[in-house]
Chain A
Amino acid sequence: MGLTGLAIFKLLPKTNCKECGVPTCMAFAMALASGKATLDQCPYVSDEAKEALDSATAPPVKLVKAGAGDKVLEMGDEQVMFRHDKTFYHPTGVFIEVADNADVAAKVEEINGLVSERVGQTYEVDGIAIVNASGNADTFKDAVATAAGKTDKVLLLSSEDAAAMEAAAGEVADRKPILNAANADNYEKMVEIAKKISAPLVVKGKNLDDLADLVGKIDYKELILDSGERETSKVIADLTQIRRQAIKKRFRPFGYPSIAFTTEEDPLMEGLQAQAYISRYASVVVLKTTELATLLTLFSWRSNLYTDPQKPIAVQPGVYAIGDVTPDSPVYITTNFSLTFYTVQTEVESTRLPSYLIAFETEGLSVLTAWAGGKFIGEEVGPWLKDSEINEKVNHKRLIIPGGVAAIKGKIEELSGWEVIVGPREANGISAFAKLKLGA
């Protein structure tokens, strides 16, 4: 990535031994440069060359993992500043704080229960941040043990007291918790604790200069960065600098994931603040609120931001039953572009009339785009419908199509033998349509 094929070639043995699988060292160098090969395929590379190449070909932002079992949170390994340049890979982990002197068990259970669903996605809080608010090491240790027993979410242990951290980390050594945080005073001990259990360690500076300094002193690579800034406008500036320095300048001290903490007291304002941090590259954001409106909107935004702009998102084509369907249930059809499909599904659900919804294979295109592209037209839908499994599921032959493509009605009828009813143009007209035409 960072080096050209020619620069890499200079570091290779130049023996053309072919053991890597390609005919020449030059060809291997080109493959390395384009990311199609990895250095371990060459048995003869020198250690010196290896180090030089490793750092040059390493991702600009290191991949750091926290958590264990099914709940591993991957952070970093990002390559661009703008999602339209490629995509963002690892969605921001959302954590909620629990004070060690509160009712930890109850609070953790409350957080476990914060699950919301929309458009076919399930949103859950990623982790729990246990804060050593008591300042007491035993209280902290007990709180961490209690939390660990109540949840399998990722844990974040927050204390700048190294002794307290050591005791608490010992309780959850196999959980790979995030340790928060190493600072100028405690970093030697904190690094030792983190190394012992291979846990990611937050490095907290007083500002960007101090942060770079501190990272430079630490001989450990599982790091997460905190510039120490807490004012919204300054945090987004720092987060942007950390990401930009890593990607555009390959400034090594900033080549790690980042973390941000909200300060707003109002739960809804806290959501907007967290949004700014998610938008500006934070790998982890730690909140205090458990307000559903805040979490639902924040997770929706995160999911949108991290959607891969390179591919249309599609649902599996096929016949979907909504509610307790019977052979009399109405049959709707739309395309398999997920946004379209879920919008229609949500609206059909809200009619409370059990129905079938067909997601027609349009390679993830929306209704009008698919129609214009010849993928959602009578010649495609008609023959498919004629032989579809839906014929065995219902005792009628009436299909409701989106109003925007009323023009395909005739052809579908001709080719399938079904009667076509033209539905509303927009999904939000389905309720009224169902009331009026289907007796919902």
Chain B
Amino acid sequence: MPVEILKEKFTGKVQEVVLGATKEEGGTRAKTVTLGGSSTLPFMQYEGEIPNRPAIAFEVWDIKPDWHECFEPYYGDVWDDPVAWAKKVEGLGADVIYLEFKGADPELENSRSADDCAKVAKAVLEATTVPLIVQGPGHPDKDNEVLQAVGEAAAGENIALGVAEKDNYRSIAAAAMMGKHCVIGRSPVDINILKQLNIMITEMGIAPDKIINDPMSSGLGYGIEYSYSIMERTRWGALIGDKMMSFPIVILAGPEAWRAKESYAPIEEAGPGWGEQKPRGIMWEAMTAASLLQSGGDLVLMRHPEAVEMLKKHIDDLMKPNTY
């Protein structure tokens, strides 16, 4: 009995957003990365196109991070120097570098100045060849200052500036527009705010192919199901033609997974049946990423190199043709 394959008939698709710019395009990247473009549900290649596989971004901080000691062997030699660190993650297979200016937090002693942030961003661009995302310290006024300075310094490179939220999006979006960069719009696990923010950013005159969404993913075991469902609804919205729900999505797997005790607790402090920290931590991050990819992520922010290696293999398997 031949089974008639039941295909959803979609009219829309996820917006394609290009990160980075090559020499010909006015930048200095060796190649660009395209996010989004899917006209089907995640990995269901038999009913639409998936022109771009999910890309991997690595976290790089401008100050030494307070991460678990298991990261020391990987980053211990570079985490005092964001430029060396960025170079290293490029070698580890980063499609994109996600540079966070935690050190620019005005509450810190010796808080990094906006000009200095711009210099670091510029140096990272010079030392690497992949596209760059830059995030401010998460302090509204300082974010504006930092992102404006970085946006100017990186003119032509088509980086992404983040994160623009409902209450502070104007100046960040303006900085992105000024330098012809992309902007990441963040909404607090709320689909209505996600859409509203996209409308507001678009109304400022930002082109659709310059917008990325960060719906603030939660980690495995700690509310991931809310993110999963919001991302499923967003993808559905994109596929049925809602342009304001169609922007590519970034999943914050690394930072969220490593907030959970399950990822970092040594075996002496672990719960019953948790096992050794090493595989557990890697797996907590990889599982967070892989689960959310099933609901429609286009860029995954990762931390542990071994989790990345696993995730890449898993994506290879998911991207093998499954058309009937």
Chain A partners chain B: yes
On A, residues with C-beta under 8 Å from B are: 82-84, 114-119, 123, 208-209, 211-213, 216, 231-234, 236-237, 240-241, 244-245, 248-249, 251, 253-254, 268-269, 271-273, 275-276, 279-280, 291-298, 300-301, 303-305, 307, 309, 339, 343, 346-347, 350, 428
Across the interface, do B5 and A292 meet the contact criterion of CB distance under 8 Å? no
Residues on B with C-beta less than 8 A from A240 are: 41, 44
Contact of A82 among B223, B232, B287, B321 (CB under 8 A): B232
Q: Shortest CB–CB separation between residue A228 and chain B, in angstroms?
A: 13
Flag B213-257 by CB within 8 Å of A: 1 or 0 each.
000000011111100110011001000000000000000000000
| Contact sample, A vs B, 28 pairs, CB 8 Å cutoff | A82-B233, A83-B225, A83-B232, A115-B272, A115-B273, A116-B272, A117-B271, A212-B1, A231-B322, A233-B322, A234-B320, A237-B322, A241-B5, A245-B3, A273-B317, A275-B290, A275-B294, A279-B295, A292-B276, A292-B280, A293-B284, A295-B273, A297-B283, A297-B286, A304-B220, A339-B223, A346-B271, A350-B269
Across the interface, do B259 and A428 meet the contact criterion of CB distance under 8 Å? yes
The CA of A43 and the CA of B287, in the complex, are separated in Å by 53
Residues on A with C-beta less than 8 A from B221 are: 118-119, 300, 303-304
Across the interface, do A276 and B279 meet the contact criterion of CB distance under 8 Å? no
6 more contacts with CB within 8 A, not counting A83-B232, A268-B282, A297-B280, are A82-B233, A117-B271, A117-B273, A118-B262, A237-B324, A343-B222
The CA of A307 and the CA of B226, in the complex, are separated in Å by 10
Across the interface, do B43 and A233 meet the contact criterion of CB distance under 8 Å? yes
Residues on A with C-beta less than 8 A from B318 are: 232-233, 236, 276
The CA of A251 and the CA of B291, in the complex, are separated in Å by 28
Contact of A114 among B1, B273, B286 (CB under 8 A): B273
With known contacts A118-B262, A233-B43, A293–B283 Cβ distance under 8 A = yes
Q: Shortest CB–CB separation between residue A304 and chain B, in angstroms?
A: 4
Residues on B with C-beta less than 8 A from A245 are: 3, 6
Across the interface, do B273 and A213 meet the contact criterion of CB distance under 8 Å? no
Residues on B with C-beta less than 8 A from A307 are: 225
Residues on B with C-beta less than 8 A from A339 are: 222-223
Q: Shortest CB–CB separation between residue B189 and chain A, in angstroms?
A: 11
Residues on A with C-beta less than 8 A from B295 are: 279
* B314 CB–A CB distance under 8 Å: yes
Contacting A at CB under 8 A, from B22-44, are 41, 43-44
Across the interface, do A236 and B223 meet the contact criterion of CB distance under 8 Å? no
The CA of A203 and the CA of B3, in the complex, are separated in Å by 16
* B46 CB–A CB distance under 8 Å: yes
The CA of A82 and the CA of B232, in the complex, are separated in Å by 8
Across the interface, do A84 and B6 meet the contact criterion of CB distance under 8 Å? no
Residues on B with C-beta less than 8 A from A304 are: 220-221, 224-225, 228, 291
Residues on A with C-beta less than 8 A from B43 are: 233, 236-237
The CA of A304 and the CA of B292, in the complex, are separated in Å by 12
What is the size category of the interface that chain B forms with chain A? 35 or more
* B63 CB–A CB distance under 8 Å: no
Q: Shortest CB–CB separation between residue B144 and chain A, in angstroms?
A: 23
Residues on A with C-beta less than 8 A from B261 are: 346-347, 350
Q: B229: nearest residue on chain A (CB-CB)?
A: A84
**What is the count of residue pairs linking A and B with beta-carbon distances less than 8 angstroms?**
171
Across the interface, do B233 and A272 meet the contact criterion of CB distance under 8 Å? no
The CA of A300 and the CA of B236, in the complex, are separated in Å by 25
Residues on B with C-beta less than 8 A from A254 are: 3
Residue among B2, B276, B314 with max Cβ neighbours from chain A (10 Å): B314
Across the interface, do B229 and A280 meet the contact criterion of CB distance under 8 Å? no
Q: Shortest CB–CB separation between residue A15 and chain B, in angstroms?
A: 40
The CA of A273 and the CA of B294, in the complex, are separated in Å by 11
* B45 CB–A CB distance under 8 Å: yes
Contact of A272 among B220, B269, B272, B314 (CB under 8 A): B314
With known contacts A232-B318, A300-B220, A304-B224, A209–B3 Cβ distance under 8 A = yes
The CA of A343 and the CA of B272, in the complex, are separated in Å by 16
Across the interface, do B2 and A209 meet the contact criterion of CB distance under 8 Å? yes
Q: Shortest CB–CB separation between residue A367 and chain B, in angstroms?
A: 13
The CA of A208 and the CA of B3, in the complex, are separated in Å by 7
The CA of A67 and the CA of B100, in the complex, are separated in Å by 52
Q: Shortest CB–CB separation between residue B309 and chain A, in angstroms?
A: 10
Across the interface, do B233 and A293 meet the contact criterion of CB distance under 8 Å? no
* B65 CB–A CB distance under 8 Å: no
* B274 CB–A CB distance under 8 Å: yes
The CA of A231 and the CA of B319, in the complex, are separated in Å by 11
Q: B191: nearest residue on chain A (CB-CB)?
A: A84
The CA of A283 and the CA of B306, in the complex, are separated in Å by 30
Residues on B with C-beta less than 8 A from A280 are: 294
With known contacts A116-B272, A253-B1, A305–B228 Cβ distance under 8 A = yes
Residues on B with C-beta less than 8 A from A303 are: 221
With known contacts A83-B225, A279-B294, A296-B262, A269–B272 Cβ distance under 8 A = no
Q: Shortest CB–CB separation between residue B104 and chain A, in angstroms?
A: 21
Across the interface, do A234 and B286 meet the contact criterion of CB distance under 8 Å? no
* B155 CB–A CB distance under 8 Å: no
With known contacts A236-B43, A268-B279, A291-B279, A117–B317 Cβ distance under 8 A = no
* B76 CB–A CB distance under 8 Å: no
* B17 CB–A CB distance under 8 Å: no
Across the interface, do A116 and B273 meet the contact criterion of CB distance under 8 Å? yes
Across the interface, do B322 and A241 meet the contact criterion of CB distance under 8 Å? no
Across the interface, do A279 and B322 meet the contact criterion of CB distance under 8 Å? no
* B51 CB–A CB distance under 8 Å: no
Across the interface, do A84 and B314 meet the contact criterion of CB distance under 8 Å? no
Q: B317: nearest residue on chain A (CB-CB)?
A: A232
Across the interface, do A297 and B220 meet the contact criterion of CB distance under 8 Å? yes
Q: Shortest CB–CB separation between residue A294 and chain B, in angstroms?
A: 6
Contact of B322 among A118, A236, A428 (CB under 8 A): A236
Residue among B5, B222, B283, B320 with max Cβ neighbours from chain A (10 Å): B283
Q: A280: nearest residue on chain B (CB-CB)?
A: B294
Flag B265-301 by CB within 8 Å of A: 1 or 0 each.
1000101111110011011101100110011000000
